[in-house]
Structure 1
Amino acid sequence: MWRSIASNALTLFIVLLIAAAGLLAWGRNQYSGPGPLAQAICVKVDKGASLSEVSRNLEAQGAVSDARIFRIGADYSGKAKGLKFGSYLVPEGASMAQVLDILTQGGASTCGREVNYRIGVAKAEIILRELDAASGSYVEVAKFDPAVEPAPQAYAAAVQEGDLRWQVTLAEGVTSWMVTESLKHADFLDGSIASVPPEGSLAPDGYEVEQGGAREEVLARMQAAQTQIIADLWAARAEGLPYDTPEEAMVMASIVEKETGIAEERKLVASVFVNRLKQGMKLQTDPTVIYGITKGEGVLGRGLRASELRRATPYNTYVIDGLPPTPIANPGRLSIEAALNPESSDFLFFVADGTGGHVFAKTLAEHNENVAKWRAIEAQQGTPDAGGVQGN
């Protein structure tokens, strides 16, 4: 009898072991195998959220098949207390192990909303965007100019809710005054700005910032970036340039920046001005004249008058010889490269061609023909300015 009981107990024990092994294998497969998501989603981890809260949310969103297995796997892997605050993109079919890695690896949020303060030549705009997880692209939620418009309710609510990424983006060719004035209206930054940085000293780029960060610190980062760019590119400059210092090169780069927005043209535009300097010709470029009028404080908003082209100012390159005394904007890296390594050409003139680019000429006669063609286009389009350099 006892032998029968012992035999039955042993059999039951073996069955239980097999069942436990099967359950363990099933759980391991559930944890490591492909997850139930049919398409990517955004998962938000609130500050101070517990593993239980997060696992229940994941199950409710369909990111994991069983919250309990997810918690057990997190405990077993030693990551149960490693959840990071933020919003994260969880791809379709992600396993529980992959989801846990995403939520504990830290770093910048990969999902959710972002605010980009874009400072352009004419105006600055705060743009709130949200990632559409299904398409992987950002959707614009709100946009406004903080200098003249109140913040939309969607933006105010997003700031109140938190979990935003912040960025300040400088457009190529923006002036230091415009950058400074725009940052004063950035409600997500703090602190005053003592003075406008020297023209040309700020690097156009995108800068990740922290909410509540100091405005002066953001400007310092922009200046440090531009200093590094000019230092790197000056060391690799071409020989025989008609300027002897990095400061003069930055003046040239800013002129190139304002004359063309087409990257492929920049080195050719630079070659025209380099050729003019080498031959002792006046640069005769409208953007410098405009800067002499506006001082970089806003957009002129009209064509230049004949009297302004004749007026003697340090920036009127129709009157002065050589370069103006300072840059006329903050040039981007490509324009600095163009100023330091221009194309080799015989061109001395260029004018708009009606397509957004320019047509170049070696002689005044060729240039006058090109100008006449542009004037015909200008008459049809009502375009006020031909751009480029004039004959003398």
Structure 2
Amino acid sequence: MSLRFLVATVLLAVAPAIGGWWAWKGQGPLRQEATVLVRKGANLNQVADQLERDGVIRSASLFKLWARARKLQLIRGEYTFNPRASLSDVAGKLRRAEIHYTAVSIPEGAHAWSVQKRLKGFVPEEVFWTLWKSPRLAKTAGFEQAESLEGLVAPATYKLHHAMEPEEVMLMLVEAFRDQIRPKLEGGVLPPYETLILASLVEKETKLPEEQPKVAGVYKKRLDIGMRLQCDPTSLYARWLSGDLRFTAPLPGDIRRVHPFNTYTTAGLPPTPIAVPSASALEAAKAPEMGRDLYFVATGRGGHSFAPSLKDHNRNVGTYRKEIARQRRIARG
């Protein structure tokens, strides 16, 4: 046997192996990072064809052969692939279920419109507002009587991916509320849902934990004597529900608007919370600091002045206006 014939024979024997290795480990066709969604119910053939169609892999057929040999179990999710990812890289990422998540934060004080904006990449706007009124989701949160999910969302950072269904995303938020917040509402001076509503008013009035029990005390005392709460943030919430989405300070028209959520024109608590309350606001609403005070107004320096009488309150309002005027003079130079 000549040397030339021997070499040719060896090359013929190893060529398929080399070709197979290169098809498996060699650089793939992807030129830039790509994301592929494996949605609920997607099968192997659909995913393989999608990978080839999106230019992630060269051969859907080869991928299917490997996946069937390995009995690949597809896990629904969002997968991100790097440029030139090999077929081995792509297959390994799917096998290990290396799902790409996006962190979405729902902060304390967020209201419906803020939550919708933060979730817009995962829940279409029209779907969001439909789900926001879902009795089933409200029941899951622990308050089946709630008109909406306002306040029934736990403030947290959620890990989401784009293969999730919109209702699944919303369910995650209300389940977090049910598990983390709902039990903390028991044992207060008001029933649990009213405690949540009061806490949301306190949250929107002041961020200072040391002031929140005092604010809650003023509102609780007003409730006890039948006095209107006159909470500025509720007049803004009524404005937004009326279709005016200007996010500005209350205007005289807002204060005068007759609306179930405007506590200047309607007695008692609003029908639902007006935001996501913080833990400190919840504690304040459960145990308000009850004293003589019936009024409070901003100081203009970050806090509030409290007063037991309208006369004292009007004096505090005058002090606040002088402080704002002083700050404007300084700003003008």
TM-score range, shorter chain: 0.5 to 0.7
User: What SS is found at the alignment partner of 2:119?
Assistant: helix
Q: Work out the CA distance in 2 between the residues paired with 1:172 and 1:303.
A: 19
Mark the runs of 5 or more structure 1 residues left unpaired by the alignment: 1-47, 50-158, 384-392
Counterpart for residue 371 of structure 1: 317
1:111 aligns with none
Q: Give the Å deviation of 1:312.
A: 1.4
Name which of 237, 262, 269 aligns with 1:291: 237
Which residues of 2 match residues 156-171 of structure 1 at below 5 A? 161=82, 166-171=102-107
**Is 1:346 matched up with 2:297?**
no
Distance in 1, Cα, partners of 2:193 & 2:113: 19
AA aligned opposite 2:218: V
- Counterparts of residues 115-126 of structure 1 (less than 5 Å): none
- Shift in Å at residue 210 of structure 1? 4.5
1:175 equivalenced with 2:111 (yes/no): yes
Map of 1:217 onto structure 2: 168
| Per-residue deviation, 1:291 | 0.6
Deviation of 1:289 (Å): 0.7
Q: How does 1:235-274 map to 2 (within 5 A)?
A: 235-237=186-188, 241=189, 243=190, 245-274=191-220
* Match for residue 334 of structure 1 among 280, 284, 297: 280
C-alpha separation in 2, matches of 1:379 and 1:300: 25
Q: Which residue of 1 aligns with 2:156?
A: 205
Distance 1:315 1:382, change over 3 A: farther
Partner of 1:273, secondary structure, is: helix
Report how far residue 348 of structure 1 moved.
1.1
Per-residue displacement from partner, 1:142-175 (whole Å, max 9, x unpaired)?
A: xxxxxxxxxxxxxxxxx66499663211111211
Which residue matches 1:305? 251
Alignment of 1:91-110 (within 5 A): none
Which SS does the other structure have where 1:168 is aligned? strand
Give the conservation status (yes or no) of the 8 Å contact 1:296–1:329. Answer: no
The amino acid across from 1:234 in the alignment is: L
Structure of higher RCO (CA pairs closer than 8 Å, 6+ residues apart): 2
Structure 2: runs of 5+ lacking an equivalent: 1-23, 26-79, 83-97, 134-147
User: Which of these residues, 121, 130, 134, is aligned with residue 185 of structure 1?
Assistant: 121
Measured after TM superposition, the shift of residue 382 of structure 1 is 4.9
Q: Which amino acid is 1:364 matched to?
A: L
How far the C-alpha of 1:297 sits from its partner, in A, is 7.2
Could you say which residue in structure 1 is the equivalent of 2:131? 195
Alignment check: 8 A CA contact 1:229 1:333 kept: no
CA distance in 1, matches of 2:308, 2:290: 13
DSSP 3-state at the match of 2:207: coil
How many residue pairs match? The answer is 221
The structure 1 segments of at least 4 consecutive aligned residues displaced by more than 4 Å after TM superposition are 159-165, 296-299
Q: CA RMSD in A?
A: 3.2
Any conservation in 2 of the 1:351–1:370 contact (CA below 8 Å)?
yes
Structure with greater helix share of residues: 2
> Secondary structure of the equivalent of 1:264?
coil
User: If the length of structure 1 is used for normalisation, what is the TM-score?
Assistant: 0.50
The structural deviation recorded for 1:262 is 1.6
The C-alpha deviation readout for 1:207-260, integer Å capped at 9, x for no partner, is: 2335644443232122122223443223232xxx3x4x3222221111111111
The 8 Å contact of residues 239 and 245 in structure 2, kept in 1 or not, is answered as no
Write out per-residue CA displacement over residues 10-67 of structure 1, whole angstroms, 9 at most, x where no aligned residue.
xxxxxxxxxxxxxxxxxxxxxxxxxxxxxxxxxxxxxx99xxxxxxxxxxxxxxxxxx
Query: What is the distance in 1 between the residues matched to 2:313 and 2:221?
Result: 15
Report if the CA contact (8 A) 1:176-1:202 is conserved.
no
Amino acid at match of 1:222: L
How far apart, CA to CA, are the structure 2 residues paired with 1:228 and 1:340?
A: 18
